[in-house]
Chains A and B, each alone.
Chain A
């Protein structure tokens, strides 16, 4: 394959940049044009990414539509992009969420109050570029650049257009993620220099062939040669902060609550998935031995996160904060699925990343609509909203149920396969699943509490009685989300089949190191 020919991926990746450049030449006064241009480019990116899916070969476990150009050949760094079953759905999730986030900001009052419309939408497109970049980059160095670049626009989106404590939240978000990234950077540099290249597929091939060995002797061995655990942790901590895995979640409620609606949607919808994606993409295949050894411990944190997040969520008095903590719980499921280290768990995990993006993204959009009307997010300020806004109430109900994991809707399929996978996992098993499944009860507890407080009960507050009905743009934003909720819920097979081959490859590479296979591994090592 000619890897220098212009790949569709490069088109998808740089369409937002083209949009950004176009916006650069527009004047701030042309606010309407700016909005629609940004929206147009995000839609174009979405359509291009659908072409990716159409051209995607489900049976191929390796990278597809690869493009590779030398970038810094001396250091083994190249512009290397491609997709496989692990990243395809997440690219599409990104390009799916972005137009919705952009459209939902058109009428945002912060944009009117604080102005700088052009800058806002430029940041949105920059963010889209960086996020797609994270999911398609196949070079550790390029990945790291994209990873860091996502921080910049998000930092400003929160810092400029956020709520009262926006600066605090923005700085915290930035520093927290940065702190993790530094560890990852060190690990990346080590891996890159050891392998002599930053190209991920080559490194993985080396690891599997045994030509590139990161010695492993125990979880936290002080043996200076035994680096695998520390490299694994270097990556994992960076990802864990992003996810966030309990107890590294402290930045999340601040960032979510302070961010403008579109910011929260993108945060929950895509940015958090960069962490879980990174685990599947890098931690598992690069450090399979450490992954197996650490799996129960990370899964334990995930299960704690599931229960803790749900429990804390229940006590919140701010709708946005409630939804933010629910993310800790939901992403705990994803991490649990990944560290089940079997096909069902990982596939469920990836699908659940998409599901969470859709459902929680949808919830933030809905909360945003309420916030636009009432300028508050306090649970006590509402009640009986369903009566005031029947359509809005009905949509909210569906999205809430989806987030709760109602069978027939998308959330269930992901949760179920994750739990099924973790139950049958060689490295986890019964008790992890038992406690994680308790999260299903708790999800009903906090979600229904939220639903009841906001939507049910008597419509007794004057301010709530004459709320402006949904604007067509608001309905238009929710329709794709509803479609996705039902589609994935009823027919998830097409989604699973895209990941099948790639996930199986990851699983095969990792399961060699399962305890029960340890003897055969030692044997084959001895033969070498």
Chain B
């Protein structure tokens, strides 16, 4: 069937072509066309993503599987392993595609201004397009291995883009490439977890596919809807509909009685039913359930194709990973790994723990987050696109995608919550002590990713996705804004020094900005990213200022900006998890998450407003800041667009409880959209909404308080003195807070600790293994001394009694070869050939004799 869904390979193909053109012909088409190709490719992917979206909305939001043409299979080993190139269009993947392609398009436009004049301009656009292609491989794949292809692919693009300026002088290039390498290696540690998880998944379920064709992702929702439709149909046509959804009704009743989550209760119930009815039956794979398992005939009777509302008709082995996981849990199966057996619950905990390791790498969580702050060495559009809006959310996406597994692994979910919430607060704390404008945002990104991860941990998968989307907009905006500021500062510095005649080598050529940065003789002292050098930019770059303000308010969670809605949904769900969690562990983690995240939200508002004060308010503290001008339209237009969405994007998921806003914007649209794919988009639906007014306003009050606090510390007359070199933070100057601030400023010594614990010992052991053990001992001593000398000694021993001239000759031949090679090449060479020929002949004679002996014996 030809549908819009079949277009999904284009999501990968279009940016690939863009990258291809820019790689091979970029230099020929020039800067202008190179950027146009890149922007066009990115914009086209948004169009395709939108078509996919409209396909879904027109087709009951039911996910479909697409096999791309020409790529029918991938890894296929006999009948045992079958891993295809296969794509999935469902509400989750399309959500990812939509916001990634949208944000990416505007970042491409921005980059055409920001990167203007860079000698590798076209390469930059090729990389960006290549990144997009891999990002879409990541989100559109229908199996874990395709996810992994995209996963590593975006990692390589990240590596290339962090190290984009690998050749800058004065050691900057080396630093950049170090940052790139660090990112890749930290991610590889995570990839180790991904691989182990993939192996476990494969040997547990025999497949890596998320879903198989015809499988329904969210059975409960499908049955509920079929039930409703049937009820309507009953009224309209009087059809008798096979009774459905008994579980659901029962579950709701029970849920109310026991004040527990209806969904979970329903599952337990189903399990009990299954156990009863499968007793003594051979086909324990097929779950027997009285209420379910019936085929729903098409209401209008037009089509003979049965329309299934559940997956009961599919054999377990034919299901995807998630469907199988649920059934195996119901049946309480054991998994046989050859040398050992494990119960399925334990296996899922192991799988999710390994997946979590992968996520901590890609989504920069404790303990692997250290690469992300360094990744700011890349050009700012890269920081915005890859290291804030899209790639780093891949870990969260992967966990949301695997929600069925995480829901069934309470222990892992607890650890996930702890990691997320701790990361959120620690990164938020560190951000308060940074001077580099991009570093603040980097730690802020880590902190916000911590929010999303914590949301996954408490089971609020929809909230995690919602925050991911809003965050993509306002964090991309903030990074682009910071890029605009940095650009302005470089520009201003250039003018200021030019005016003073510090450096007359440069003509006033716009193209030289990036080289500028390093060519100036006193450039090393001036850091255009250091907020101490800024101040008072509000009037100098008004567009940047206003959009940055919107981004800040959105990030700080001030109503009605986007971050307010998404952050409060996470907080509300944490609260619900704390109240109604199915296990004590979940309840505990819910409350912990709530506490830590609210505190982190306070930090967020504080460090963002500190940044506002240092960058935009007060008076310019350097000549460079004095000379700053607004950036070009190619840069400011994306700021305006993203600024607009930073205000309004939150309304895609408006809560019904709030001031009747849902009358205008619809009620929880995004959650409902995701529910078609995610069973657990909002698991607490019957118990509470996606918004909790008390928590929401408490967080808002805390945010506002933090802003006022930051304003009182950094604003007004308390701003830093123009003396930038010694510019001290007011908190550092204050004896009460100085020590704590220094800890934040030193980034809590994470890097140093890692160096001492891992990198140093690793390097030392490497040197020891290579030089001492492998070379001095094994290579030189054992081989050259023990073996060679022993060999010679035995040779002498043997040769004395035997005393064959031929053996002597051979030994001498080798000796001659060793001693006098260079001068007498030819003579020695021929001499040796002869020796070798004799040896070989001897060998052959020997072989024949040995062969002959047994034959003779046999014959004789």
By a beta-carbon cutoff of 8 Å, the part of chain A in contact with chain B is 74-75, 114, 152, 159-160, 166-168, 171-172, 185, 189, 192-193, 247, 250, 253-254, 308, 311-316, 325, 342-344, 347-348, 384, 386-387, 394, 397, 401, 406-408, 412-413, 416-417, 419-420, 423-430, 433-434, 437-438, 440-441, 444-445, 448-449, 452, 455-460, 490-493, 496-497, 500, 503-504
B75:A417 contact, CB within 8 angstroms: yes
A456:B166 contact, CB within 8 angstroms: yes
B166:A384 contact, CB within 8 angstroms: yes
Residue of B nearest to A405 (CB): B152
B851:A75 contact, CB within 8 angstroms: yes
Of the listed stretches B54-62, B292-300, B335-343, B632-640, chain A binds: B335-343
B177:A452 contact, CB within 8 angstroms: yes
Instruction: Report B760-789 CB contacts with A as 1/0, cut-off 8 Å.
Output: 000101110111001000110011000000
B769:A308 contact, CB within 8 angstroms: yes
What is the CA–CA distance of A429 and B850 in the complex, to the nearest angstrom? 43
What is the CA–CA distance of A364 and B763 in the complex, to the nearest angstrom? 25
Is B724 part of the binding interface, using a Cβ–Cβ cutoff of 8 Å?
no
What is the CA–CA distance of A456 and B171 in the complex, to the nearest angstrom? 11
B192:A456 contact, CB within 8 angstroms: no
B78:A504 contact, CB within 8 angstroms: yes
What is the CA–CA distance of A397 and B126 in the complex, to the nearest angstrom? 15
If A406-B156, A458-B173 touch, does A343 touch B78 (CB 8 Å cutoff)? yes
- From A159, A325, A407, A458, give the contact of B149 (CB < 8 A): A407
- From A311, A384, A429, A496, give the contact of B339 (CB < 8 A): A429
What is the CA–CA distance of A172 and B817 in the complex, to the nearest angstrom? 13
A420:B338 contact, CB within 8 angstroms: no
Min CB gap B777→A, angstroms: 10
B173:A429 contact, CB within 8 angstroms: no
Residue of A nearest to B27 (CB): A390
What is the CA–CA distance of A341 and B168 in the complex, to the nearest angstrom? 51
Min CB gap B781→A, angstroms: 11
If A168-B818, A312-B766, A452-B178 touch, does A440 touch B73 (CB 8 Å cutoff)? no
What is the CA–CA distance of A407 and B160 in the complex, to the nearest angstrom? 16
A152:B818 contact, CB within 8 angstroms: no
If A441-B188, A496-B77 touch, does A457 touch B149 (CB 8 Å cutoff)? no
What is the CA–CA distance of A387 and B80 in the complex, to the nearest angstrom? 46
Q: Which of B195, B340, B817, B847 has the most CB of A within 10 A?
A: B195
Q: List 6 A-B contacts (CB under 8 A).
A: A167-B817, A247-B778, A314-B763, A407-B151, A420-B81, A452-B180
Is B153 part of the binding interface, using a Cβ–Cβ cutoff of 8 Å?
yes
What is the CA–CA distance of A417 and B185 in the complex, to the nearest angstrom? 22
What is the CA–CA distance of A417 and B149 in the complex, to the nearest angstrom? 14
Majority SS of interface residues in chain A?
Answer: helix
B167:A456 contact, CB within 8 angstroms: yes
By a beta-carbon cutoff of 8 Å, the part of chain B in contact with chain A is 23, 71, 73-78, 80-81, 145, 148-149, 151-153, 156, 159-160, 163, 166-171, 173-174, 177-178, 180-181, 184-185, 188-189, 191-192, 195-196, 199-200, 202-203, 337-340, 763, 765-767, 769-771, 774, 778-779, 782-783, 814, 817-818, 821, 825, 829, 836, 847, 850-852, 854-855
What is the CA–CA distance of A50 and B159 in the complex, to the nearest angstrom? 38
Min CB gap A187→B, angstroms: 12
B821:A440 contact, CB within 8 angstroms: no
Min CB gap B105→A, angstroms: 24
Given contacts A160-B825, A167-B818, A408-B149, 14 further A-B contacts (CB under 8 A): A171-B817, A171-B818, A172-B783, A312-B769, A386-B166, A386-B167, A407-B149, A413-B75, A420-B81, A426-B339, A430-B340, A433-B199, A440-B188, A460-B169
Chain B residue numbers with a CB within 8 Å of A312 are 766, 769-770, 774
A458:B203 contact, CB within 8 angstroms: no
What is the CA–CA distance of A97 and B307 in the complex, to the nearest angstrom? 55
Per CB-CB distance, the 9 closest pairs between chain A and chain B, nearest first, are A315-B770, A456-B177, A456-B166, A407-B149, A423-B199, A444-B188, A315-B766, A429-B339, A312-B770
A387:B76 contact, CB within 8 angstroms: no
What is the CA–CA distance of A401 and B195 in the complex, to the nearest angstrom? 17
Residue of B nearest to A445 (CB): B185
Min CB gap A157→B, angstroms: 13
Residue of B nearest to A507 (CB): B78
- From A193, A316, A420, give the contact of B199 (CB < 8 A): A420
Chain B residue numbers with a CB within 8 Å of A423 are 199-200, 202-203, 337
Residue of A nearest to B780 (CB): A250
Min CB gap A492→B, angstroms: 6
If A312-B769, A343-B78, A493-B73 touch, does A449 touch B181 (CB 8 Å cutoff)? yes
Chain A residue numbers with a CB within 8 Å of B71 are 490-491
B149:A425 contact, CB within 8 angstroms: no
Chain B residue numbers with a CB within 8 Å of A428 are 338
What is the CA–CA distance of A520 and B77 in the complex, to the nearest angstrom? 27
B174:A458 contact, CB within 8 angstroms: yes
- From A193, A250, A308, give the contact of B783 (CB < 8 A): A250
Residue of A nearest to B853 (CB): A193
Residue of B nearest to A347 (CB): B77
Chain A residue numbers with a CB within 8 Å of B817 are 159, 167, 171
What is the CA–CA distance of A313 and B771 in the complex, to the nearest angstrom? 11
Chain B residue numbers with a CB within 8 Å of A313 are 770
Chain A residue numbers with a CB within 8 Å of B829 are 160
A448:B766 contact, CB within 8 angstroms: no
B339:A343 contact, CB within 8 angstroms: no
What is the CA–CA distance of A193 and B854 in the complex, to the nearest angstrom? 7
B166:A315 contact, CB within 8 angstroms: no
What is the CA–CA distance of A501 and B405 in the complex, to the nearest angstrom? 36
What is the CA–CA distance of A440 and B194 in the complex, to the nearest angstrom? 11
Chain A residue numbers with a CB within 8 Å of B852 are 75
Chain B residue numbers with a CB within 8 Å of A74 are 855
What is the CA–CA distance of A416 and B197 in the complex, to the nearest angstrom? 12
B189:A441 contact, CB within 8 angstroms: yes
Residue of B nearest to A503 (CB): B78
Chain B residue numbers with a CB within 8 Å of A455 are 166
A189:B851 contact, CB within 8 angstroms: yes
- From A386, A413, A444, give the contact of B184 (CB < 8 A): A444
